[in-house]
Amino acid sequence: MRKLYFLLIGAVLSWGAYGQEMTTTTTTTTTTTSTTPVLKSKKGEDYLPVGDEWGLGISANPFLDYLGNFINGYDGFNTSPSFDFASNPANNIAIFGKMMTDANTAYRVRFNVSVNSRTNKAVVTQNQLNPDPAFPAFAQDWQKVNTTAIVIAPGIEKRRGSTRLQGVYGGELVLGFNNVKTTYDYGNSMSADFNAPITHNFGNNIVNGNPNAAVTRITEQKSGSNILVGARGFIGVEYFFAPKISIGGEFGYMLGYQTNNKGLITTETWDGAELAPRKTDTDTFNNGLTSIGIGIDNLSGTINLLFYF
């Protein structure tokens, strides 16, 4: 069966390499005669995209890994590939779309909107004045982490070449935003009887004390929004191995500005004078964090698979 798969793959690659016909369109005027190459398959399908067509890009890496493992007979991790969208070196941009305005120009955009919510639960012993060892009581502590990340990179792409191997180049604007918010809900509340209640340690939520007696603990933590603005030039290649289907890669040079706004931590501790929990807000990164840099962002290159329709 494996030999049959190998022969089928070889047939597909041979069709991609030799299943091309080049026709020419000759235009004659009173002064000049020009010949424009038109790349077509044996079925008469155009290889290259034209104006008003759309393109969708995904990463070809898992497909190439699968094919390489298959040919080499390596079954350890030879699982079927999944469609992972092409990533941008600036900030893991996921979806990659193009709109061709003509055969040599395209507007493109890459973006990713990620909203994630994770909840962790822990069971702790309930604080009681007169606990019954035979019938212990328990409470639940909750941690909820909300993460939001938005990245978008609109740009313009030019291409050149009259064969199935096309050079691409252009520029794009990269905009990014992300933040993280963590909240805690404790089963044992602070009271006059239990100034330092039993609290589960989720990692860094106990500021003062220990899990058996948390004197000061976090109720809410905001990381502070991280904002990225960048201008990126890129250059790469695309090879059309089938009509309207190409494989290619690119790397770029990017000038980026990044700022991290100050975060906020809210803690609670028992106030003996007020006989109630006291909330305290503390800024983190009081002066903010700002950085600016320029450099090659994707020297290793990501291989993309592109479909036009």
Query: Are 260 and 228 spatial neighbours (Cβ–Cβ below 8 Å)?
Result: no
User: Are both 264 and 224 inside the same structural domain?
Assistant: yes
Query: How many CA atoms does the CB half-sphere of 15 hold within 13 Å?
Result: 11
248-269 average pLDDT score = 88
Helix, strand, coil % in the chain, rounded to nearest 5:
10, 60, 30
Residue type, 3: K
- Higher-confidence position of 32 and 215: 215
Looking at the predicted structure, is the pLDDT value of residue 239 above 70? yes
User: Are both 176 and 205 inside the same structural domain?
Assistant: yes
Q: How many structural domains are present in the chain?
A: 2
User: Are both 11 and 62 inside the same structural domain?
Assistant: no
User: Are both 27 and 156 inside the same structural domain?
Assistant: no
User: Are both 223 and 99 inside the same structural domain?
Assistant: yes
User: Are both 265 and 184 inside the same structural domain?
Assistant: yes
264-283 average pLDDT score = 95
Looking at the predicted structure, is the pLDDT value of residue 56 above 70? yes
Task: Please count the residues of the chain.
Answer: 309
29 backbone φψ class: left, alpha, beta (φ>0; ψ -120 to 50): beta
Backbone angles phi, psi at 2, to 5 degrees: -65, -40
Please, is 213 exposed, middle or buried when counting C-beta atoms within 10 Å of its C-beta (0-12, 13-18, 19+)?
Answer: middle
pLDDT value of residue 115: 86
pLDDT in tens, 179-197: 899 999 999 999 999 999 9
Q: Find where tokens 């012993």 sit.
A: 125
User: Are both 21 and 165 inside the same structural domain?
Assistant: no
User: Are both 190 and 159 inside the same structural domain?
Assistant: yes
What residues make up the domain containing 225? 51-308
Compute CA 58 distance to the chain's CA centroid, rounded to the nearest angstrom: 12
pLDDT in tens, 93-115: 567 899 999 999 999 998 878 88
Query: Are 92 and 135 spatial neighbours (Cβ–Cβ below 8 Å)?
Result: no
DSSP string, 172-225: EEEEEEEEEEEEEE-SS---SS-SS------SS-EEEEETTEEEEEEEEEE---
In Å, the largest CA–CA distance within the chain is: 107
Looking at the predicted structure, is the pLDDT value of residue 25 above 50? no
User: Are both 211 and 273 inside the same structural domain?
Assistant: yes
In degrees, rounded to 5, the angle at the alpha carbon of residue 86 between the alpha carbons of residues 242 and 90 is 140
- Higher-confidence position of 86 and 110: 110
Looking at the predicted structure, is the pLDDT value of residue 300 above 50? no
User: Are both 286 and 208 inside the same structural domain?
Assistant: yes
Summary mean pLDDT of the chain? 79
233-260 average pLDDT score = 88
User: Are both 250 and 184 inside the same structural domain?
Assistant: yes
Which pTM was predicted?
0.69
Tell me what percent of the residues of the chain surpass a pLDDT of 90: 47
CB-based contacts of 258, cutoff 8 Å, min separation 6 = 226, 227, 228, 229, 290, 291, 292
Distance, in Å, from the CA atom of 41 to the CA atom of 22, rounded to the nearest integer, reads 8
Picking from 122, 125, 114, the residue whose alpha carbon sits closest to that of residue 144 is: 122
User: Are both 41 and 56 inside the same structural domain?
Assistant: no
